[in-house]
Amino acid sequence: MLKPPEPRPTRLRMILPMVPCIAGYFFSYFLRNANLATADGISASMSLSTSVMGLLTAAYFLAATFIILPLGFLLDRYGPRVLLTSEFLLSGTAALFFARSETLLELIIWRAVMGIGMSGALITGVTVVAMTIPPHRRATWNGIILAGGGLGIIASGAPTVAFVAEWGWRALFLLAGTACLMVACLALALLPRRSASSIHMRRRKLRDLKEVYRSPLFQRLAPLCSLTLACFFSLSGLWAIPVMRDVGGLSPAEIPPLVFAYSVASFVGLLLAGSLSDYLQRLGASDQAVVVTLATLLIVSQSMLVLGWGAGSYPLWIVIGSLGNIGTLIYPILTRHFDASLLGRAFSAFSLFNFIGTFTIQSSFGMVVEFGQHAMGSDDPTRPYRLALGAMVTLQLAALLWYHARRPRMAAGDLDD
């Protein structure tokens, strides 16, 4: 007797698993960027210096650096349902304890645990898309999940600034922690199960990871994409407001509207980047050329901050916000370049680059500012920030030069990817 064909998934069965995935990337961005609005309150209540605040904020990414590769193996072993539920339970609990912390050590520990919890939000969401969405719709849903992160950027901007001004930073993290615990229940109820992989497959995945790192395409493009994202995350997560204030000369009342415009531009850029790339490719441009061109424009716009041009203006920050997430275009490039069985390893490998870069830049930015303040005196308070911004731009320029320098070494097949 023939086995009846499996029923096609209904629209509701496809959409429901996406809800906790979108929420996961929303909270991943929200928790990493919340310190942009809470930094002044935390530093005032705990008497923390600029460099210490940079280290505290960057602890989120340092912890994620150590966990992102093991998360890939855990995802293969236990599936997205167990992993995303655990991530939300961990981050929600950490946010609640962060809100009640009384010492710097406690703040750093719980900030790091939040980073561990949310570090796998994107790779988990992409895996759920691959499991539940038909192939011809997967790119669309990947974009929707990324847009959830854009909403997190918006929420962590002006709305959070207003909330913290009224209720304080501790109330914010109490609310965020409670929301994460609620989403954990949704993830447990809505996400699909996956059977455990064998030991043989796990060993194979380890060999696959080496193959990803040895890929000429990955070696060439990952540094540029990861550094542009790392610099953008560093600005969005902590340093944008000090730059607007001390370099742009804005008053406290002028900053929230600009932060909101910057956040909306980031959301729009994240939502439309994939569509723009697809459109330009239909016109004949290669996907790598699109990434490199837009990354170059981002570096040029950040260079204007170094020169002090338009550091308090809407047009410049809107351009930076809209281009800041351009490094995420590496995901569809990796999808086309690597076999489907390698995608989890490729995404984790790139995320590792990204987290290392973000931790280093976000923590070092404050140290460079403090060094500049001591070395340059108080004659021009903008110079220490411009020095730190200049170092940030220099790193991205080096990655851009590395990309072009690696071109002759790539095989013809890689050049076409």
Looking at residue 254, its amino acid is E
Instruction: Assign 15 a pLDDT band (cuts: 50, 70, 90).
Output: confident
Q: Tell me the range of 26-30, 200-204, 284-288, 347-351 where mean pLDDT is highest.
A: 26-30
Residue range 137-153: mean pLDDT, rounded: 76
CA–CA distance, 11 with 3 (Å, rounded to integer): 24
Residue range 144-167: mean pLDDT, rounded: 84
- What's the pLDDT score for residue 199? 41
- At residue 311, does pLDDT exceed 80? yes
Q: How many CB atoms lie within 10 A of CB 282?
A: 8
In a domain, 7, yes or no: no
CA–CA distance, 241 with 193 (Å, rounded to integer): 42
Q: Tell me the range of 241-245, 287-291, 391-395 where mean pLDDT is highest.
A: 391-395
In a domain, 102, yes or no: yes
Tokens at 136, concatenated:
């011809």
Range of the domain at 386: 16-407
In a domain, 272, yes or no: yes
Contacts 24+ apart (CB under 8 A), 298-302: 298/228, 298/232, 298/323, 298/324, 298/326, 298/396, 299/228, 299/393, 299/396, 299/397, 299/400, 302/231, 302/389, 302/392, 302/393, 302/396
CA–CA distance, 376 with 363 (Å, rounded to integer): 20
- At residue 28, does pLDDT exceed 60? yes
Residue range 240-247: mean pLDDT, rounded: 89
Q: Is the overall model pTM greater than 0.75, yes or no?
A: yes
* Total of domains in the chain: 1
- What's the pLDDT score for residue 197? 46
CA–CA distance, 38 with 16 (Å, rounded to integer): 33
Per-residue pLDDT tens digits for 198-215: 444 445 556 667 788 888
- Give the domain CATH number at 104: 1.20.1250.20
- At residue 5, does pLDDT exceed 70? no
In a domain, 211, yes or no: yes
Residue range 115-138: mean pLDDT, rounded: 77
- At residue 411, does pLDDT exceed 80? no
- At residue 140, does pLDDT exceed 70? no
CA–CA distance, 359 with 10 (Å, rounded to integer): 42
Query: String of b and e for 172-181 (b: at least 16 CB within 10 Å)?
Result: bbbebbebbb
Q: Which residues contact 58 (CB under 8 A, 6 or more apart)?
A: 358, 359, 360, 362, 363
Ranking 92-101, 255-264, 325-334 by mean pLDDT, the lowest is 325-334
- At residue 331, does pLDDT exceed 80? no
- At residue 286, does pLDDT exceed 90? no
In a domain, 6, yes or no: no
In a domain, 236, yes or no: yes
- What's the pLDDT score for residue 65? 82
In a domain, 250, yes or no: yes
Tokens at 231, concatenated:
């610099």
Per-residue pLDDT tens digits for 31-88: 888 877 888 888 888 888 877 888 887 888 888 888 887 787 777 777 788 888 999 9
In a domain, 293, yes or no: yes
Q: Tell me the range of 81-85, 297-301, 310-314, 332-336 where mean pLDDT is highest.
A: 297-301
Ranking 133-147, 156-170, 180-194, 376-390 by mean pLDDT, the lowest is 133-147
Ranking 128-132, 174-178, 204-208 by mean pLDDT, the lowest is 204-208
Q: Which residue has the higher pLDDT, 289 or 1?
A: 289
